[in-house]
A and B are shown apart, each in its own frame.
Chain A
Amino acid sequence: MNRQFMIALVCFGVLMPFMAFAQVDAIITGQVADESGAPLIGADVYIPELRLGGATNPDGMYEIVVPAAQVLGQDVNIEAKFIGYKTMKEWITLKPGKITNNFTLGLDVLEMETLVVTGLGVEMDKAKLGVNIAKVSDKVITNSDESNVVSALAGKISGVEVTQTSGEPGASSYIRIRGATTLSFSDTQPLFVVDGVPINNSERFGFVTFTGTGDVVQQNRANDLNPEDIASMEVLKGAAASAVYGSRAGNGVVLITTKRGRPGRPRLSYKVGYTFDDVKKSAQLQRKYGQGLNGQSQVNSPFSWGPDLGSDVETFDHAFELFETGHKFENNLQVSGGTEKTTYFLSFGRVDHDGFIRGNSDYLRNTVRVKASQRVGNNLNFSGNIAFSNVDQDRIQRGSNVSGLLLGSFRTPPDFNNLPYLTEEGFHRSYRNQNPTRQAGSRGYDNPFFVAKEHQNISDVGRSLINVSIEYDPLDWLNINYRFGYDYSVDERRTVLPIGSSDRPNGRVVREKLTEKEIDGSLTITAVKAFETADMNLNLTLGQNLNHREFDEFSVIGDNMAVLGFNQLDNTATIDPSIEFAEKQRSESYFGRLFVDVWQQVYLTGSIRNDGSSTFGKSEKRHLYPSFSAAWEFTQMDALRDNNWLNFGKLRFAYGTAGRQPDPYDILTAFFTGNFISGWGSSHSLSSFGTGGFATSGTKGQPDIKPERSREIEVGLDVGFWNNRLGLDFTYYNQKTSDAIFFNPLPPSTGATRQIQNAGELENKGIELGLNLQPINMKDFKWNIRTTFSKNDNQVTHLRDVITGETLEFIGLGGFTSARPIAREGHAVSVIYGRDFVRFGRGTKVSGENIDELFPEATAGALYIAEDGYPIQDPEFRVIGDPNPDWTGSLRNTVTLWNNLEVSALIDIKSGGDIWNGTRGALSFFGAHVTTADNRDGTQVFDGFGPGQGTEVADGQAWHLQNLGSGFTGPASQFIEDGGYVKLREVSLAYTFADLPRWMGLTSINVRASARNLKTWTDYTGIDPDQNLLGTRGGRGLDYFGNPNTRSFVLTTRFNY
């Protein structure tokens, strides 16, 4: 031992001078620029062999320091990468001292050389993909200025529709990819995977407070992520791409990769942002006629059918009085860096948003993320990634809800001042109860200011996401990875409808605790092998995944509050039996994927996944989900290789299947407790008078169920012309869902009302087009155009009633009886089902006589006019609207001047798509809508045929309140409107200050001003066609007193060190 030590010491002494000599690092520097000579800022320059790299500064300069110990005079590969440009690789010889190496990157508007995350931890050049995976970069996400990552995708990707439920702070957003692929209520959203681990993106409605068409807007859990932490998002649109996620991928998959530290000097960035938002358009209300009926003033009347107010009476702006300018402050601090062995990333974010509604509408989110990795030896790598979010939010009741905000506000007659909302005695006053004598009791509708200021709808969320992985590379060609993820969130809610709330006249406090857990472990083994003689590369991945999910809700309801403003359960006299709900499910999967790359131009991928799920009960639990794709980069053929006009060309074909398993426990028959509930909102506790009650559940168990399956064929072409300055991608897909799981209605006389069945078929066919163009590419002037276009045809092709063996009439997807989104064979999912006037051309019988035979001169579709001169209602329910758009598109123009000034605008287009404007319908009934003032005392003649044709009849109250012009009892068809729009989604102006004075110690400052939803062009007469009352639960196309969306102006400054 001693001797060895001595020898070592001697050796050290002898070697000392040489080591000192070699102690000179290699410093590689240079500029990365595009072909016009403009520097590329933030480009990655990397030496893979040494795992060393850096990013370019505002001058496009990079610097990589190679420690002397690694400088052995060897040749190494150095590569420069930048999104939208071709990756460039060069060989340099490492020697001590300064080495200069500049890069000039060619354009790649198709982003074919960008690495794309394809799932299961695999990254691949986009050029090699046989499927269409859309990638959204960090810059696009942060520049959208959305604090919800889902909203940030709006208008960015063809075939992906994003809808924000409301402009309220923290409101949910949701996605639909390539049309509706399922008839499920609960599972309509794509799977979200963050850094290889699935996370929860549920939008949970409380069992106690949820009414379907009322309630507050909840958050979607992906909203807990800080968009600033995200490096990229990939959307696996169809089953062909998402098949690797098997039975959870039926609605597509969104892969999120968070930022990480990179070897090199520490980087620090601080961003501060300020946003103000407001409502530009509201309901159109009349201010001419006052409260009352029959032209007579009537205190406490629900109606605005009162007298002409003339010019002396003061009127109030109920369309806008609830809105003010909202404010949002954002702060983000990020530190990252690392060495060849260790990397770290640390991020803090805070969003403080005080919403546009005058009242308790706010959102505060604090997020922290710590991510680090350590390489041990040469072949083991440990990494940890922990994120924590704390969210505090207060929301406002909306929708079909007598305690909803805009329902009471818009219905208020113009001559009633909603302020003050409390009387001198402190009692809640509203237009229908103007002089209350006590605190308790219904006000008809709540005064909207009471709703905004006295109600409480608090959500307090704690969320942690933990992701730990061990990677082991025992051999050059073999990688073993085990990744463990844990997602835990608790949402503690408090809903307070104070005494005197119309929905709960005696006051109610609801406390809810919603806990969700997802534990995920996956093992992947990847082998890579190159066969140089055959010019072929193989990449094989095998793996296993175990997943456990839990949801638990616990609620307590207290009724009969004593004191206004004291919002605890202690203040309630009656505490109802508490309510619990829990769900657990597990899956166990095995998967494999083989990628073959031949002659550097043909790329084949095959994958298979075997998924087992606990929700199948006694049925077969394990099912296979295969996929296959092929891509041929035909421009790599010798004949086409260096031609001048076509720089890039790829044909692709893909086929895959994804699926959906049944929801937990739908396979079981059991007894329920809780309440008997009527469609009118009343409920009767089974556990009344101190004894628990149980009744047979309406859901009958299904012992024989299969997974729902989506099979998709996708073909596409990607081509680049004109030095890759013009890129075009085209995709056609044909997706069929079979064995769609839905609740087959049972005749209630069987004792149950529904049972799950595999009995539906749906189809989505469509095209997606992307066109990217850089018409001008000069050093000081660049112009970039990106457009997307997509068209989807959705149809329910088969809806079998397994009970009768016949076609099922329809499946309801929520909403109202009078205007209900449904699934019906031969129609698109979510068409609106309701009633129409009696019209010609349908063989309708009136009083037993076929009207088409009675009035042969009548044109098809014309109204039938009854003897009294009014049209009449057709008792038959029909499909009266289709909320699915004909096509959607977007256009983004970006101009960059002098390399530091960037101007950008994004236009988002939706063509077609009907909306039932129930708000207008209701306001017409009440005489509050502007259209009821135009011809209030006048007459009208309905255009049509029939015994009463040409008869002059009263308009105004006689039509809208007493006759079919009512939004409540008249045909819903008269309130169907075209919901198409063109939106100026984003406009921005950004300037980067580089070359900062040395004393500032900063590399750059980026200042950016932008506007979101600045302008909407639409024929829709409601507030905003970009909305949906039902959110993720059920159908689309309903507008009924929802809280509106906003336009916003954002100012951000980012300091970079």
Chain B
Amino acid sequence: MNMKLTNALPLWLAALILFVGLGCDAFLDDESVTTDPNRAVDVPIDQLFQAIQIQGFFMQEGALARTVTIWMQQMSGTDRQLLAQGQYVHTEADNDDEMDDMYTGGGLVDFRNIMRLASGSGDRAYAGMAKFWEALTMNTGTQIWGDLPYSEAVRTDKLTPKLDAMRDIDDALMALLDEAIADFQSGEGRLPPNDYVYSGDLAKWIAAAHSLKARIAMHWAEVDPSMYTLAMSEAQQGISSTDGDFKSLHGSGDPESNDWYQFYRDRDTYIRSGKFLVDLLKSRNDPRLSIFFAPNADGEFVGSAPGDGNTAASNLSAGYLSPAHSTDILTFEETILIIAEAAFKTGDEGTALQKLNEARAVLEAKFGMDAGSLPALTGLAGDALIDAIAEEMYIALFQNIEVWQLWKRTNRPALVPHGNLDIPRRMFYSQDERNANPNIPAPEDQAPRNPNDPGDSY
């Protein structure tokens, strides 16, 4: 036995080495270990289109909307970080996620992916919708941050995209919306099966694109009055019924639910109704008081004053806290009120008042208010008229990030800040972006106002 084994040694060794070494070349390169089982490498257009909508709704309803509506006193931060935000304690780290999300997966990078795939397949409706989402998202971005990385963003050849001027971006977005409108009008190619906003109704998309152009034009009207005319003409081709409102879609299950609901679910004390809006609605006898908000524990509607931290104040109503609640993003009433404001600023007070009253009627019907809840106003002129238009817009833009732009432009409504401090007029660039991109100035070197927001008079 011994001898035999020893004699056979080379054979044994060879067998062993063969046994363990078999197929070694393929061992490390085998496809079963080199491909990522968790992520897809090629994704069809519908799946990307799905993602940009979910992300788009999230951006319009998430942390940006909370912060802005707290500053605009529609809501009030009452606990922890949101209380601090209500006291204008604001750092560059506060909105990292939101600024990042504009560009990353579900944002700009995927708007462009959809456009690329759509141009290959000739599905122009997809391209148009992606362009619309790009314009909506980036314009929300410019009104918050002003100059932003855009022309060099999401390009593989640019690792540190430069800042583009806010005006250049907004101009590019309006041009992009023109392209989108042309895409919709061509009617070429397939329609997405999962269009959660308009279910593939291209006429509604065209109207929304005009409304968005009107909104963007208004962002520049304070510094470039020629924009009023553009805004007016775009708005006239814009959303023309409540049915055409651009809204988010949600479901009652947790994964599909509204971000306001999710925030309340996790951190219910952090945010309450704002005293200014509650008092305003009360003084107007506006039925939206009980549509937006719920009575507090004492059965009363009480708003929390800015920076006050009154968690006993009224909360959002059950309807607005419902997981499936759809949030208005771009509406018929905003479109009408843009015409009202633009008409007023171009000297046509008659049209301004008429449009204001038209908007009130639309709102009355939309919220199912009793007839006469928002009666037609008469005899308003001058400051009283623009005050009324801005006030109507302020309420109509409830929970909408656009309300900040309204206030910055019109200096209305007259909000009294917490502790005699200044209400912020822009956010700091995200810390993530600044740390990685030398083109972004340090927070202390960032201008407190955006270029379209020069002064406090209107």
Contacts and interface: CB of A to CB of B under 8 A. Distances in A.
B128 interface: no
A803 B438 CA distance: 10
A15 interface: no
B435 A809 contact: yes
A684 B54 contact: yes
Contact of A694 (B40, B100, B107, B266): B40
A695 B38 contact: no
A4 interface: no
A379 B5 contact: yes
A676 B54 contact: yes
Contacts of B312: 298
Contacts, number: 290
A697 interface: yes
Interface in B90-114: 91, 93, 96-97, 99-110, 113
B84 to A, nearest CB: 4
B28 A586 contact: yes
A324 to B, nearest CB: 31
Nearest to A752: B104
B194 A689 contact: yes
Interface stretch (B42-50, B173-181, B216-224, B378-386): B42-50
A801 B159 CA distance: 11
A684 B58 contact: yes
A614 B33 contact: yes
A806 B438 contact: yes
A747 B149 contact: yes
Contact of A580 (B1, B38, B97, B101): B38
Interface in B19-65: 20-21, 24, 27-30, 32-34, 36-41, 43, 46-48, 50-52, 54-55, 57-58, 62-63
A990 interface: no
Contact of A442 (B13, B101, B106, B268): B268
B185 to A, nearest CB: 26
B78 to A, nearest CB: 10
A77 interface: no
A748 B153 CA distance: 9
Contacts of A402: 266-267
A687 interface: yes
A689 to B, nearest CB: 7
A695 B435 contact: no
Interface stretch (A358-366, A386-394, A667-675): A667-675
Interface in A673-700: 673, 675-676, 678-689, 691-698
Interface string B139-163: 0000000001100111100111100
A536 interface: no
Contacts of A378: 2
Interface in A494-548: 502-506, 508, 521, 523, 525, 544, 546, 548
Contacts of A697: 39, 105
Interface stretch (B254-262, B281-289, B397-405): B254-262
A962 B419 CA distance: 12
A809 B438 CA distance: 11
Interface in A298-352: 298, 300-302
B319 interface: no
Contacts of A808: 435
Interface in A681-736: 681-689, 691-698
Interface string B102-139: 11111111100100000000000000000000000000
Nearest to A809: B435
A791 to B, nearest CB: 33
Given A747-B160, A803-B160, A678 B259 contact: yes
B83 A969 contact: yes
Interface string B271-287: 00000000000000000
Interface magnitude class on chain B: 35 or more
A1037 interface: no
Contacts of B190: none
Contacts of A559: 253-254
A469 to B, nearest CB: 13
Given A505-B265, A678-B63, A803-B159, A689 B256 contact: yes
B432 interface: yes
A582 interface: yes
A474 B104 contact: no
A523 B430 CA distance: 54
A747 B159 contact: yes
Given A377-B1, A680-B267, A482 B43 contact: no
Contact of B105 (A672, A749, A804): A672
Interface string A418-449: 00000000000000100000000010100000
Interface residues of A, number: 102
Interface string B75-93: 0000111011000010101
A686 B262 contact: no
Nearest to B194: A691
B225 interface: no
Given A688-B54, A694-B40, A696-B109, A588 B28 contact: yes
Contacts of B254: 504, 506, 508, 559-560, 574, 576
B20 A613 contact: no
B357 interface: no
B13 A480 contact: yes
A780 to B, nearest CB: 52
B100 A302 contact: no
A380 B2 CA distance: 10
Nearest to A682: B262
B262 A683 contact: yes
B3 to A, nearest CB: 10
A956 interface: no
B323 to A, nearest CB: 9
Contacts of B9: 474-475
A236 interface: no
Given A380-B5, A685-B54, A801 B154 contact: no
Most chain A beta-carbon contacts within 10 A, residue among B6, B50, B251, B269: B50
B16 interface: yes
B432 A748 contact: yes
Contact of B37 (A302, A506, A582, A680): A582
A525 B63 CA distance: 63
Contacts of B159: 746-747, 750, 803
A581 interface: yes
Given A302-B311, A680-B266, A747 B39 contact: no
A1047 interface: no
B91 A696 contact: no
B198 interface: no
B421 interface: no
B252 to A, nearest CB: 8
Most chain B beta-carbon contacts within 10 A, residue among A474, A475, A683, A808: A474
A70 interface: no
B358 interface: no
Contacts of A968: 80-81, 84
Contact of B39 (A475, A613, A665): A665
Given A523-B20, A613-B28, A698 B256 contact: no
19 contacts: A300-B297, A301-B311, A474-B6, A482-B16, A559-B254, A617-B34, A670-B36, A684-B256, A689-B196, A691-B193, A696-B110, A746-B436, A747-B149, A747-B433, A747-B436, A748-B101, A749-B148, A753-B432, A968-B84
Closest 9 CB pairs of A and B: A751-B109, A693-B50, A685-B255, A695-B105, A670-B39, A682-B262, A747-B437, A748-B100, A749-B149
Interface of A: 298, 300-302, 377-380, 402, 432, 442, 444, 472, 474-475, 480, 482, 502-506, 508, 521, 523, 525, 544, 546, 548, 559-560, 574, 576-577, 580-588, 612-614, 617, 621, 664-665, 668, 670-673, 675-676, 678-689, 691-698, 745-753, 801, 803-804, 806, 808-810, 817, 873, 875, 877, 925, 961-962, 968-969
Given A693-B47, A748-B433, A806-B438, 8 more contacts: A508-B254, A523-B20, A670-B41, A684-B54, A694-B50, A695-B55, A747-B149, A748-B103
